[in-house]
Structure 1
Amino acid sequence: MTPEMIESAEARLSGIVRETPLLTSPFIDEIAGRRVHVKAECLQHTGSFKFRGGWSAVSALDAGVRSRGVIAFSSGNHAQGVALAAARHGVPAVIIMPADAPRIKIDNTRALGAEVVLYDRATENRDQIGDRISSERGLTLIRPYDDPHVIAGQATVGLEIARQFQGGPTEVLVCCGGGGLTSGIALGLEMRAPALRVRPVEPEGFDDVARSLATGTRQSNERLAGSVCDAILTPSPGELTFPILQRLSGPGLTVTDDECLRAVALAAQRLRIVLEPGGAAALAAAIFQPDNIEGEDVIVVATGGNVDGELFSSALMK
């Protein structure tokens, strides 16, 4: 990962991705006890930041390699990002998705033209499935976070934050699975706003990144399912992302499913944006764990809004 790679991704994404806004609400500021700036990546194409990494990786491929098609594995947001990027490049895409992924994510991925292969995340290994299919069909595997071009694409979120936020030293809370977005933002901020420091936020019971940062070695989760935050449930930090996080991020934060659902409701009521629970984890930390955050301001990345209607309704009832 080099600044040149990130600048190249920025150029390829220019005019393709949306520059998402940095939103504020006096009501949320009052609850959190500080100014909360919400980077609304839920307004990105396909409803999450994942389109950035998907477009960056697909567009970086040699034209001949790209024409054979791409493959990815994802619970839904990376799936849709890669599917749309492939569709706009006119190449086939196969997406491996857990069978318990939200129905809206599976349906949307198919609607974008991708072939969807479902698997049981509790008993089957998605990496092995991806390696087998990509080998059989000559497809290029685009990993959800352990891919340099994906990380470079996600880094453009950090570049935008650097342009949009004019304050001093501030923590940037990021919903974190394998660390592609968190490490990408950290690299982007290192380039253009080094006073800002990222901190990963994970669901309770799936805090592999926080534990890895605390111990200095990559840790794994005992479970791969069992949280409403499906978008950020991963086995362990990436081999590429973890060293970046070790060097550039602060300690990890952990939130409960209930806090994430309450944050979904507050985002809808006070910011008028739709978030999925995993995409609201960072906002939940800012609102419900103010003592674990430093400074008068905090920046929150609202990473995705692809939520099933029934779950969204239950969150609003809170």
Structure 2
Amino acid sequence: MADPSKCLPLTRASVQAAHELIKPHIHRTPVIHSRTLDEFASRQQTEAELQGTPWEGQGPGVRPTVRLWIKCENLQRIGAFKARGPFTPSGGWSRTRRGSGNHAQALALAARENGIPAHVVMPSVSNPTKVAATAGYGAVLYESGSAAPERQKMLDSVVGRTGATFVPPYDHPDIILGQGTAGLELQEQAAELIAEHAAKTPGGKARTGLDAIITPCGGGGLLSGTALSCEGTGISVFAGEPSHQGADDLVRAIRANLDGPISDVRTLTIADGLRTPVGLIPWSIIRGDRRLVRDAFAVSERDISRALRFVLERLKVVVEPSAVVPLAVVLFNEDFRKLVEEEGGEDGWDVGVIFTGNLSLDALPELLKIGDEKA
């Protein structure tokens, strides 16, 4: 990866340039639409459903009109949008790579296709499926403790012994621009589908594209890249986070009007891909001087589990818990839903969501059980 100061500027045009660069290496994943999901998202939550939530005792919920357009990055190479970033080396390919989780798989794949070795540090608590997949792409794996200082110590040791170049999973311009290509494709594909859908709706208002995109937020690479891809388009960008054990660091930072991200995040949310704090470069785009992300909303473990069950049973799409966090916001977070109702009115909003995959089937029964528990 290049020195960040020598990378392409963080603009929509640079996301477009990154897209041209990585096209030979990625899939143009499909965008799907479900009338059943639209109806479920546009329903009014009952007082009983809202018991145990921040909106308990406020009466029935709001009734927004929502149409959802889902970008299936679970069908991307390695099963996640993370495949996009590592194929965006504006400064050329270096000799070695390092990463973890979905990022680790993406780095291992990119390194293999470019004929260079990959050294990957993965915490001992990493998803076994992701560990096996990373090894399958030919990476040399190093196990570390789960805490940030332990990971950093192992990373420093590996870099010292191998001369490897550290490739962060989100806090680098190349990664951000690469992840932003998913948002770029979503805009184009959804616009075509929305026009077709509107044409088939008698008396319906002509619609030309998305009103909003909501992405999951861990380190902020996908979120900030998507925000860049939407700059100047009129599309509002939002973030979804888990609320469990302080995983909603972006939500808290925005509500407190902080000047920088919250750096200390320690959570065991089931959305394991979102356990990291927002990086400094993503923050500069999300908030900072750019403020390209309009707002962020959080959801409970129960709501994440409920959304996951809906996706698996009704949409027949296999995704991981992290992927459905934005969808859970649309389905269950009354603050976001009220915003859609007020600004969308009768016409409502067309909302884009980006999915990702890598679900561990062994953990599935416990993940779904959480959604059955009382709030």
- Give the TM-score normalised by the residue count of structure 1: 0.90
In the alignment, structure 1 residue 217 sits paired with structure 2 residue 284: no
Structure-2 residue corresponding to 1:45: 77
Separation of aligned partners in 1, 2:352 and 2:128: 27
Match of 1:195 among 221, 234, 237: 234
Separation of aligned partners in 1, 2:86 and 2:148: 27
> Which range moves more in the overlay, 14-23 or 79-88?
14-23
In the alignment, structure 1 residue 35 sits paired with structure 2 residue 57: no
Residues 61 and 312 of structure 1: CA distance in aligned 2, closer, same or farther (over 3 Å): farther
Secondary structure in 1 matching 2:212:
strand
Separation of aligned partners in 2, 1:291 and 1:131: 43
**Structure 1 ranges of 4+ moved more than 6 A:** none
Q: CA deviation at 1:35?
A: 1.1
Secondary structure in 2 matching 1:95:
strand
Structure-2 residue corresponding to 1:62: 92
Separation of aligned partners in 2, 1:116 and 1:219: 30
Matching of residues 9-24 of structure 1 within 5 Å? 9-24=18-33
Separation of aligned partners in 2, 1:200 and 1:210: 8
Residues 244 and 114 of structure 1: CA distance in aligned 2, closer, same or farther (over 3 Å): same
Residue by residue over 1:176-218, the C-alpha shift from the partner in whole angstroms, topping out at 9 and shown as x without a partner, is: 1011100001101115xx2111111111121111222232322
- Aligned residues with identical type, % of pairs: 31
Structure-1 residue corresponding to 2:165: 140
In the alignment, structure 1 residue 272 sits paired with structure 2 residue 316: yes
Secondary structure in 2 matching 1:141:
coil
Structure-1 residue corresponding to 2:296: 252
Structure-1 residue corresponding to 2:188: 163
Give unpaired runs (5+ residues) of structure 1.
none
Contact 1:18–1:45, Cα closer than 8 Å, also in 2: yes
Q: CA deviation at 1:36?
A: 1.4
Separation of aligned partners in 2, 1:209 and 1:119: 26
> Which range moves more in the overlay, 148-157 or 270-279?
270-279
Structure-1 residue corresponding to 2:333: 289
Residues 148 and 187 of structure 1: CA distance in aligned 2, closer, same or farther (over 3 Å): same
Residues 239 and 221 of structure 1: CA distance in aligned 2, closer, same or farther (over 3 Å): closer
Secondary structure in 2 matching 1:273:
coil
Separation of aligned partners in 2, 1:276 and 1:195: 30
Secondary structure in 2 matching 1:249:
coil
In the alignment, structure 1 residue 83 sits paired with structure 2 residue 108: yes
Secondary structure in 2 matching 1:70:
coil
In the comparison of the two structures, how many residue pairs are matched?
A: 308
CA radius of gyration, larger in: 2
Structure-1 residue corresponding to 2:51: none
Residue by residue over 1:129-171, the C-alpha shift from the partner in whole angstroms, topping out at 9 and shown as x without a partner, is: 3244224311111111111100110110121122122245622
Separation of aligned partners in 1, 2:265 and 2:249: 11
Separation of aligned partners in 1, 2:17 and 2:154: 31
Quick one: which amino acid aligns to residue 84 of structure 2? R
Secondary structure in 1 matching 2:88:
helix
Matching of residues 150-189 of structure 1 within 5 Å? 150-166=175-191, 167-168=208-209, 170-189=211-230
Contact 2:130–2:358, Cα closer than 8 Å, also in 1: yes
- Give the TM-score normalised by the residue count of structure 2: 0.77
Contact 2:263–2:278, Cα closer than 8 Å, also in 1: no
